[in-house]
Chains A and B, each alone.
Chain A
Amino acid sequence: MAAEPAISAAGGTARALAATRRTLSLIWSSRRGRIGLSILVVFTLAALLSPVLAPEDPTRDFGSEILAPPSSDHLLGTDGNGADVLSGVLIGARVSMAVGFAAAIISGVIGAFVGVVSGYYGGWIDRTLTAIDDWFLVIPFLPFAIVVATALGRVADDWPGGRVTLLIIVIGMLSWAGTSRLVRSQVLSLKERQFVERAKALGASPGWIVRKHILPNVMPLVFANTVLIVSATILAESTLAFVGLGDPLRPSWGTMLEKANDSGAVATGAWWFFLPPGIGIVLVVLGFTLVGYAIEEIVNPRLRERRG
């Protein structure tokens, strides 16, 4: 008896592993997916291993050489404080990607929830949620995010994770509108499908139908969309950090670019300070976009010929 849950849990893990392997091999089968996945694997490893890989602590180890070009001591030179740029890029990968991931997950969860509720229940609930959704689609993201992050900055300093947590919440809360719209239209078409009608006729409760019939059919779409959203959230984090709303204790790539711009690295042509974090952002965003497209093509085969 006691062994049973363990066995079924192991079976579940095995099934999940098999599904993951199947998805990965499907992504790998397209050229775009292959490029994207390779980029992401490299950067994820770098981010995860950054505490080990980074030669120095970029927030503390300030050398005497300021804006020194690449050398054997500092492979990517030093920044405006004399800290090692390579270490900064590695640690920055961790912060940038963590914020991007977490914010995208928040946005995916809210988007899926709002989309399912609004599509499935219809009526005034749908109208209200769609109006809110419309609003979130048109507000100018950056001014909005800036005022929220500024107004709450002091409060967030006492939170675990500090301003990084604040950025995650702000970005996540502001980027779900597209997802919910997508999910809503999918739910609207699912609702008319026979298997849902049949379940309804047999007396299934709305909760049961949503759990058993709607969600399993919506989740792949949400997943594909969330991967695409990560590229947008990483860009958003870099922008907010660049305008000075990052966490100085947890510097991301955007924070590095802000420091590069402020310390005159651009004006003096200290490319080793601003190119690496910038290229990091571009590659990771590109990676998520490519993988997102690849997953979207698997989920929605009709797209295959259109994008081809």
Chain B
Amino acid sequence: MSWRHVGSRALVALGTLAFVLVFNFFLFRAVGDPKKDLIRSRLTPAAKEALLKERGLDRDKLTQFRIYLSQTLRGDLGTSFTSRKPVLDEVLGALPNTLMLVGVATLLSAFIGGWMGVIAASRRGSAWDTALTQGSLVFWSMPFFFIAIIFIWIFAVKLGAFPTGLKSTPGGPTSGFAYYRDVFEHALLPVTTLTISLLAQYTVVMRATVSDVMNEDYITTGRAIGLPARLVMRRHAVPNALLPFVTLFALNIGFVLSGAFVIESVFSWPGIGDLGIEAIGNKDYPVLQGTFLVASAAVIVANFATDLVYGLLDPRVRTA
């Protein structure tokens, strides 16, 4: 892989990040008007004046932008309107919970979904194939939060097998094996929900690409010289079908994050999604901006990383 390729991808990533930074400011301070929100609220004029000053809204837009840029670049994302804590602390505190949910669900869904796609493709037209394809279609049509609601209803409310939300039992164990077990029990439903929500597309993409590869001459040759079907599948069909799979994996990062956002909110899982969605109701703009910034940055970095991996996997990209 050439340094030019790495350099150009890095440049694109940095440019995107810069755009997000500028967009984040203008959307809230220029298009939306936080001053108007304050003026409409029921506060005494003196209190309003003090709040405006505290939030730096009394200066002109250009000065505000300069202050915003220098603060953000130094890692200061402002103070939450509701909790009065620094936004950066809140976001960083929530980030590991989101990464755990997203990471586990992404890996599980990619492996299980990809495997189901291979099964469907290797038995085209069978009952398995039909069931997997139709099932994927139905799950693809379900909003993530609806799957979450159904799961809570069935497994937590009716069967009482799992807690309905949060990351651990309030007042429960805080360390040791008992704590991890508690967290595991709380995580099981949200992770399962996100995994199931993501399965379908991996199945569909894997089925389509493996089916395509199966029509290639080298597969026919492999079968013709008497290699077992399983071996042909494992050694020749699946590896050649992996590229679109990796692409989907990459394009999906933003999508997965969106899914994690709503699922966290339904399960009150204390990640950045839950934080951000709580902030909508509270009109807590700094927190909302902070979560957006971190979510976008995560996606941009992940895409940059995938670009590099892709370059290593596909010789055609190295020279392009």
Contacts and interface: CB of A to CB of B under 8 A. Distances in A.
A143 B276 contact: yes
A152 B31 contact: yes
Interface residues of A, number: 48
Contacts of B141: 231, 235, 281-283, 285-286, 289
Nearest to A134: B12
Contacts of A139: 254, 296, 299
Interface in B20-72: 24, 27-28, 31-33, 36-37
B138 interface: yes
B262 A286 contact: no
B18 to A, nearest CB: 12
A150 interface: yes
B303 interface: yes
B184 interface: no
Query: Is the contact region of chain A dominated by helix, strand, or loop, or is it mixed?
Result: helix
Contact of A140 (B146, B285, B299): B299
A292 B32 CA distance: 37
Interface string A248-285: 00000010010011000011110100100010011101
A244 B262 CA distance: 11
Contact of B149 (A134, A135, A261, A306): A261
Contact of B251 (A137, A231, A307): A137
Interface string B141-169: 11111100110110001100000100000
Contact of B257 (A142, A151, A153, A283): A142
A245 B19 CA distance: 24
B157 A269 contact: yes
A142 B153 contact: no
Query: Is the contact region of chain B dominated by helix, strand, or loop, or is it mixed?
Result: helix
Contact of B138 (A141, A150, A235, A286): A286
A295 to B, nearest CB: 16
Given A141-B254, A146-B280, A271 B153 contact: yes
Given A141-B254, A148-B27, A257-B145, 17 more contacts: A135-B19, A138-B303, A139-B254, A140-B255, A140-B295, A140-B299, A143-B261, A143-B296, A146-B276, A150-B280, A150-B283, A243-B261, A243-B277, A267-B164, A269-B158, A274-B153, A281-B143
Interface of B: 12, 16, 19, 24, 27-28, 31-33, 36-37, 137-138, 140-146, 149-150, 152-153, 157-158, 164, 208, 211-212, 251, 253-255, 257-259, 261-262, 265-266, 276-277, 280-281, 283, 285, 288-289, 291-292, 295-296, 299-300, 303
